[in-house]
Amino acid sequence: MSTPGPEEPDEPRGSLRPTSARALTACAVAGLVLGWGVHPLWTQLFGHPPALSWVPGLALVLVAAIMVFLAAHTWQTVQVRGERLEVHQAVNRLVLARASALAGTVVAAGYVGYAVSWLGDGSVIADRWIARSLVAAAGAAVVTIASLVLERACRTDGGSPRP
């Protein structure tokens, strides 16, 4: 077994960049278009608009609360107290944060698009669907924000010794 020379590092070092604004913007645009298109397409195919209950919105609020707790706990552990997470914990939280940020953006924008599709509709259910959509969109937006905070909380100094 040969020892690494001066030009060969002991271990490959890599880094991950935070979730980009470009990726979040692409997810938001896709979500808006899909959410806005659901109402007219569904109505044309089935003869009635899709029903929307409170359950998805409240489930998103619950997921948001969990993500806020996890982000705050991770921030305290890594950034404030300077402790290290186990490698598998850090990777799991980073993957969860990135996936949740992108998914939360698509879902939030989708619900906003769905709410926008009801604007100007004179039906008796329009206000109900708009309110439910906005609650779900707010829950998904908090999921996105908490996920981005969790992603930043997982960042470390790359193993450099602390003074």
Please give the biggest Cα pair distance in the chain.
77
Q: Are 38 and 112 in contact (CB under 8 A)?
A: no
Q: In whole angstroms, how far apart are CA 51 and each of 44, 66, 103, 123, 163? A: 14, 27, 22, 13, 58
Classify residue 118: in a domain, yes or no.
yes
Averaged pLDDT of the chain: 90
Classify residue 82: in a domain, yes or no.
yes
pLDDT attached to residue 90: 92
Classify residue 45: in a domain, yes or no.
no
pLDDT attached to residue 2: 52
pLDDT attached to residue 17: 87
Q: pTM for this one?
A: 0.85
140 closest CA partner among 104, 100, 112, 101? 104
Classify residue 6: in a domain, yes or no.
no
Instruction: Report which of residues 3 and 115 the model is more confident about.
Output: 115
Indicate the SS3 state at residue 119. coil
Q: What is the pLDDT of residues 124-149, one digit of tens each?
A: 899 999 999 999 999 999 999 999 99
Tell whether the model's pLDDT for residue 24 goes beyond 70: yes
Q: What is the pLDDT of residues 39-95, one digit of tens each?
A: 999 999 999 888 899 999 999 999 999 999 999 999 999 999 999 999 999 999 999
Is the torsion defined by CA of 59, 64, 70, 73 positive or negative?
Answer: negative
Classify residue 146: in a domain, yes or no.
yes
Tell whether the model's pLDDT for residue 158 goes beyond 80: no
Q: In whole angstroms, how far apart are CA 149 and each of 4, 62, 70, 154? A: 38, 17, 10, 9
- How would residue 10 be classed by pLDDT, with cut points 50, 70 and 90? low
- Cα separation, 124 vs 122, whole angstroms: 7
Classify residue 40: in a domain, yes or no.
no
Classify residue 160: in a domain, yes or no.
no
Classify residue 17: in a domain, yes or no.
no
In the chain, the number of structural domains is 1
Q: Domain of residue 102: give its range.
A: 54-153
